[in-house]
Chain A
C-alpha cells in the first residue's frame, strides 16, 4: 500500500525558509502569491493490505520521528 505523510509547520511558528522562497517568487515576478510556508512530504510504502493497521503504523511513525509535534502538524493519507 502506498501512503503519504505531509508535515507542515504549525501556524504561528516562524518559517524563514518559506519567507525566503516567498521573496524569491516575488523577485521572479511570479504574481498573486500572498505567502509561502515550507513543509515536508514522505512517500511511504506499507507492507500488507490492512488499511487500519497502515494508518496506525503511520501515526506511530509521525509521532515518533517524522514530525516534531511541538512545532509541526502532520497529515496521513493512505492512497491505496
Chain B
C-alpha cells in the first residue's frame, strides 16, 4: 500500500500518521507539501492528518481546503482513490466539499483530549474491514471543533445509505448523550462520501497502534486498508 500524507502549515499529527502507516504497511509514506500540485504517481491512499492548519484561522480547515494540493486530492478522490481524513483532516475534507456537513465548536465549548469509545457501524468498507460491525474500539480524540452537523436531509441520507462508520458510544456500544462528547448529531464520529472512498473522522486511530501507546485498537483501520490493497493486487 503506497500512501501519501498531505502536510499543511500548522498540522502536527503528520508524523504520528507516518509512523502508523510505516508500521502497518511496511512502506514509508510520501510526505506531500500543501503547495505541491501533484500526488506521487501510484499513490493508493491519501491521508489528510490532524493538527491546526493555518492556526484554525477563519474556520477550521477553511484555508487548507483551498491549498493547491487539494485540487490533486479532489481529482484523486474523483478517480476512486482512498482518502483518509482525520481530525483537522475531516474539517478540511468538509470545507473542500469532499464530505458533506461541517464540524462546529464542541457543544460544551471545551477542547476535549481523552480516549473515547467508538462503535464501528459497518465492516464492509475498505476502512473498516479490519473490524466487526458493532465492535467497540477505544481511541483518543483531541479537538475543540468536532461537533458534526449537517442539514436534516443530509443526515437522513447519511443514515439511510449507511455512511456513518463510527459513532461515539459507551464501552458497551450504547449510543447515549452522556457518551457523545462533543454533541455531534446522531453521535457521528466518522462518515464516508457517497462513493465510499473518502472517510472523515474526528478520533485518532493512528495514536493507538502500538502496545507502548497503551492500546492497539486503531490497528484495525490500517490493517484493513493494507488488506484491501493486497486483495486488489
Q: Are the C-beta atoms of A71 and B149 separated by less than 8 Å?
A: yes
Q: Are the C-beta atoms of B66 and A71 separated by less than 8 Å?
A: no
Interface size range on A against B: 10 to 19
| Complex interface: chain B residues within 8 A of A17 (CB) | 105, 109
Given A66-B58, A68-B59, A68-B95, residue A14 in contact with residue B66 (CB < 8 A): no
- In the bound complex, CA of A46 to CA of B153 (Å): 38
* Interface flags, B47-60, vs A, CB<8A=1, else 0: 00000000000110
Q: Which of B58, B63, B104 contacts A14 (CB 8 A)?
A: B104
A64 vs chain B, min Cβ distance (A): 7
- In the bound complex, CA of A17 to CA of B104 (Å): 10
| Complex interface: chain B residues within 8 A of A66 (CB) | 58
| Complex interface: chain B residues within 8 A of A13 (CB) | 104, 149
| Complex interface: chain A residues within 8 A of B66 (CB) | 64-65
> At the interface, yes or no: B102 with Cβ under 8 Å from chain A?
yes
> At the interface, yes or no: B62 with Cβ under 8 Å from chain A?
yes
> At the interface, yes or no: B174 with Cβ under 8 Å from chain A?
no
- In the bound complex, CA of A23 to CA of B10 (Å): 32
Q: Which of B58, B101, B102, B104 contacts A65 (CB 8 A)?
A: B58
| Complex interface: chain B residues within 8 A of A20 (CB) | 109
> At the interface, yes or no: B35 with Cβ under 8 Å from chain A?
no
- In the bound complex, CA of A17 to CA of B147 (Å): 13
Q: Are the C-beta atoms of A68 and B102 separated by less than 8 Å?
A: yes
Question: Which residues of B approach A to under 8 Å, CB–CB?
Answer: 58-59, 62-63, 66, 95, 101-102, 104-109, 149-151
